[in-house]
Amino acid sequence: MEAFGLLMHGFAVLLTWKTLVLMMVGLVLGIFVGVLPGLGGPNGVAILLPLTFTMDPTSAIVMLSCIYWGALFGGAITSILFNIPGEAWSVATTFDGYPMAQQGRAAEALTAAFTSSFIGSLVAVLLITFLAPMISSFALKFGPPEFFAVYLLTFCSFVGLGREAKHKTVISMSLGLLLAGVGMDTVSGQLRMTFGSTDLLRGINFLVAVIGLFGISEILLTMEERLALRGHAAGISLRVVLSVWRDLPKYWVTLLRSSFIGCWLGITPGGAIAASFMGYNLAKRFSKDPDGFGKGRIEGVFAPETAAHASGTAALLPMLALGIPGSGTAAILLGGLMVWGLNPGPLLFVEHKDFVWGLIASMYLGNVVGLVLVLTTVPIFASILRVPFAAVAPMIVVSCAIGAYAIQNAMFDIWLMLGFGVVGYVFKKIGIPLAPFTLALVLGNRAEDAFRLSMIGSGGDMKVFWSNGLVGSITTLAIVLLFWPVIDKLFGSFARLMRTSKSNA
Amino acid sequence: MSNTDIEIVVDDPTAPEVNSPVVTSVRIVDVVVSLLLLALALTLGWDNWRTGAAWDSTGPQAGYFPFYLSVILGGASLYGLVTAFLSRKEAAETFVTQAQLRRVMAVFVPTLLFCLAMQFLGLYVASFLLVSTFMRVVGKIALWKSLLTAFVFTAVMFVTFDIAFDVIMPKGPLEAALGR
């Protein structure tokens, strides 16, 4: 119950006018970002990060995480009303959400989406509240070999479990790790990969890369599409909200299943996108009436939204407890922690109690406030889409430039951002995933330090990664996950072999 | 009070045509990117080898970790190169059509000019120029609307970042004349 007391303390930290106002501002900006095409959670957080540089860390993280919640809420609005997913994780919401809007049940679908988002993140926040302190106190015993093993596990699971072509994930990840190493070497103080350039001396800033990769490249990609749209407008009345809420208990299995899937995929680097599809597909498979899906079933809105939100929120658990982000946005928040001078990792729970519990409390409060906010202001946000993209695009470019420049006050970073914009555009089009790159860039230095420290500790003996049960099993698991596709195939052919030999006998 | 009528309609006057000729295919870009990555891996690998990628008395040298990463990157890009060469399946897949490329350039070139102008005119003046010109030329929005939007946006940015949050941005002659 220690967690409960600390949580109450967190609420006390939050309940000042200033923080509440920041929270509202964050939520509104977040919904805005979620509704606009060409901007998503990671971009929004990355672009708006410079706003927080002069704030204290608690206010800053509260505002940024609220932008994230807002973006999660906002994605549903365009999916349902316009059949345009504002975010990749809201694609599954369009399957049943848009048909509902066509049948004149837009208000119902929106209420369902927002409510289930709320439920999903609530479950995940509860998980974080009770699990994160336990994991972090366990992780306090970790030495460099254990940390390296955990990093290795993160990287390997991306390669082994990702749906993209394996070599492309490897390219993206090793490129990120390499670029993280540019600049001064933290252990020996030597310069690496700078080629005599004074600008590269500082290294390649993670946030600059993210703003380019997600912000600029997204605009280039969006411009390729035809941007005309037609959509339904809807206001939500209290009567509709109450009637949807009255029916909620009927769908408790779907909600619970999706929350569980979301939490699981959020903690492991599966992500909100996979979670929303999986939530939807499982709801369809277990339904008594699977043919009704895709034609405007309310369950088809509940399932993916709950999963996406649970996953988006649960992605913050490994970031808080271990310093390893579970999603792209979590990686950016982690980058933010470093800017504010906090060292992410298990020590955060010991050294910065106010900060951590303030953040966790803000997850509760942000979701409640967010739910009320979206339910009351949907028509306003839907009409944002009336603003033509030709007006929005240059504004996003300017915001990106401000963000990139503000981090280190360097003109070089503007060019770097532009370069990463082009890289991101090309990579997305040829199917090189960007999430492993982001993760590798933010974790690169820490992973290398952990590796070298354990090597120094062991005198260069690789066996240190199998020196005790804990580190040994993490390392082994990492290697199994890396070769998972091969193992899976072997098992498959082995099983087939057994079957054929049995049928022959 | 929900409404089934289509209520929000936005047009896109300069949308790319659907049947525009293909500029290049995914396969060619794949090959080019693999070659570039391979070149990058070789350069970085060589640089790290020079820094020292072996072991000394204190453990791995500074270039050790990045050197082996360059090897992995090189290997993966080589593999990508070979598969891209061997695959015939992706040959038909379009990377970008002419009309799409024109639109992408319509946003990329102004962004490039904006970054250039920023160094001489300061961020705020450059952003006013970018927003107004882009809205007028690409979006075909009325001139007064474009100018007004650009002015309001730039002013809001200036107040937020320069006055309220004290975030320093590149400034040019106009700000100097105004004494900021």
On whether the CB atoms of residues A310 and A259 are closer than 8 A, the answer is yes
Using the beta-carbon criterion (under 8 Å), do A394 and B26 form an inter-chain contact? no
Cβ neighbours around A432 below 10 Å, total: 25
Q: Say if A228 is an interface residue toward chain B (CB within 8 Å).
A: yes
Secondary structure of A340-351 as H, E, C letters: CCCCCCCCHHHH
Mutation site, A51, A171, A458, interface B, largest B CB count within 10 A: A171
List the single residue in B2, B63, B83 with the smallest CB-CB distance to A106.
B2
Q: B157: which 2 tokens?
A: 């940015």
Q: Does A389 touch chain B (CB under 8 A)?
A: yes
Q: Decide if B123 and A405 are in contact by the 8 Å CB cutoff.
A: yes
The pTM assigned to this predicted structure is: 0.84
Residue B4 pLDDT? 45
Q: Are A199 and A412 in contact (CB under 8 A)?
A: yes
* Chain A environment of B63 (Cβ under 8 Å): 192
**Chain B contacts in chain A segment 68-97 (CB below 8 A):** 81-82
Q: Does A53 touch chain B (CB under 8 A)?
A: yes
Q: Is the pLDDT of residue A41 over 50?
A: yes
Q: Provide the pLDDT for residue A14.
A: 74
Q: Which residue in B has a C-alpha nearest to residue A449's C-alpha? A: B65
Is residue A397 within 8 angstroms of chain B, CB to CB?
Answer: yes
Q: List all residues of chain B from 81 to 100 with a beta carbon under 8 Å from chain A.
A: 83, 95-96, 100
Chain B interface includes A196 (CB < 8 A): no
User: Is the Cβ of A98 closer than 8 Å to some Cβ of chain B?
Assistant: no
What pLDDT does A501 receive?
A: 75
Chain A residues closer than 8 Å to B153 by CB: 395, 398
- Give per-residue pLDDT as tens, A402-442: 888 888 888 899 999 999 999 999 998 888 888 888 888 88
State the Cα–Cα distance between residues A60 and A366, nearest whole angstrom.
14
Query: Is the Cβ pair B33, A385 closer than 8 Å?
Result: no
Using CA atoms, how far apart are residues A504 and B2, in angstroms rounded to an integer?
64
A391 min Cα distance to partner chain B (Å)? 5
* Chain B interface includes A151 (CB < 8 A): no
**Is the CB of A252 inside 8 Å of chain B's CB atoms?**
no
Q: Which of A170-184, A229-243, A392-406, B72-86 has the lowest average pLDDT? A: A229-243
Q: 3-state DSSP call for residue A4? A: helix
A414: which chain B residues are within 8 Å (Cβ-Cβ)?
115, 118
- Choose the mutation target among A223, A339, A427, A428 for the interface with B, i.e. most B CBs under 10 Å: A223
Mutate to test the interface with B, among A22, A102, A197, A227 (most CBs of B within 10 A): A227
Mutate to test the interface with B, among A105, A174, A413, A429 (most CBs of B within 10 A): A174
pLDDT attached to residue A483:
84
Give residue A274's pLDDT: 77
CA-based nearest residue in chain B for residue A189:
B62
Nearest-CA neighbor of A216 among A410, A43, A384, A413?
A: A43
Question: According to the model, what pLDDT value does residue A201 have?
Answer: 79
Chain A residue closest in CA terms to B65: A448
Which residues of chain B does A390 touch, with a Cβ-Cβ cutoff of 8 Å?
A: 14, 134-135, 138-141
Contact with chain B for residue A425, Cβ under 8 A? yes
- Per-residue CA distances from B3 to A232, A374, A381 (Å): 7, 18, 16
Q: Regarding predicted confidence, which is higher, A377 or A382?
A: A377
Average pLDDT over residues A179-199: 79
pLDDT at A477 over 80: yes
Give me the amino acid identity at A467. S
- CB distance from B117 to chain A under 8 Å? no
Residues of A in contact with B167 (CB under 8 A): 50-51, 53-54, 402, 406
Q: Are A335 and A442 in contact (CB under 8 A)?
A: yes
Distance CA A461, CA A145 (A): 11
Write the CA distances from A255 to A76, A92, A261, A392, integer angstroms: 17, 15, 10, 36
Cross-chain CB nearest to B80 (options A171, A178, A427): A171
Region of A104 on the Ramachandran plot (φ > 0 left; ψ -120 to 50 alpha; else beta): left
Dihedral Cα A386, A388, A389, A395, nearest 10 deg: -100
A54 contact B CB<8A: yes
For the record, the structure tokens of A432 come out as: 């090189």
Question: Minimal Cα–Cα distance from A210 to chain B, Å?
Answer: 17
- Other Cβ atoms less than 10 A from the Cβ of B144: the count is 8
pLDDT of residue A504: 66
Exposure b/e, A275-311, CB count within 10 A at least 16 = b: bbbbbbebbbeebeeeeebeebbbbbbbbbbbbbbbb
What's the rounded mean pLDDT across residues A379-388? 77
Q: What would the mean pLDDT of A363-390 be, rounded to a whole number?
A: 82
Per the prediction, chain A carries an average pLDDT of: 82
| Residue count (chain A) | 505
- Report how far residue A367's alpha carbon sits from residue A68's, in angstroms, rounded to the nearest whole number: 10
Tokens 């700078």 appear where?
Answer: A194
pLDDT band at A313 (very low <50, low <70, confident <90, very high): confident
Distance from CA of B179 to the nearest CA of A (A): 21
Residue B139 with chain A: CB contacts under 8 Å: 388-391
Ordered per-residue pLDDT tens for chain B, 180 residues: 344 455 666 667 667 777 777 778 888 888 899 999 999 999 988 988 888 877 777 677 778 888 888 999 999 999 988 888 887 665 567 888 888 888 889 889 999 999 999 988 989 999 999 999 999 888 888 899 899 999 999 999 888 888 877 777 888 888 888 776
Q: Average pLDDT in the A1-25 region?
A: 79
- CA separation for the pair A87, A110 (Å, rounded): 16
pLDDT of residue A465 exceeding 50: yes
Q: Does the CB of A393 have a partner CB in chain B at under 8 Å?
A: yes
Q: Considering only the beta carbons, identify the residue of A54, A226, A405 that sits closest to B15.
A: A226
Q: What pLDDT, on the 0 to 100 scale, is given for residue A353?
A: 80
Chain A contact for B163 (CB, 8 A cutoff): no
Q: What is the pLDDT of residues A447-460, one digit of tens each?
A: 888 888 888 887 77
**What is the average pLDDT across A346-366?**
83
pLDDT band for position A367 (50/70/90)?
A: confident
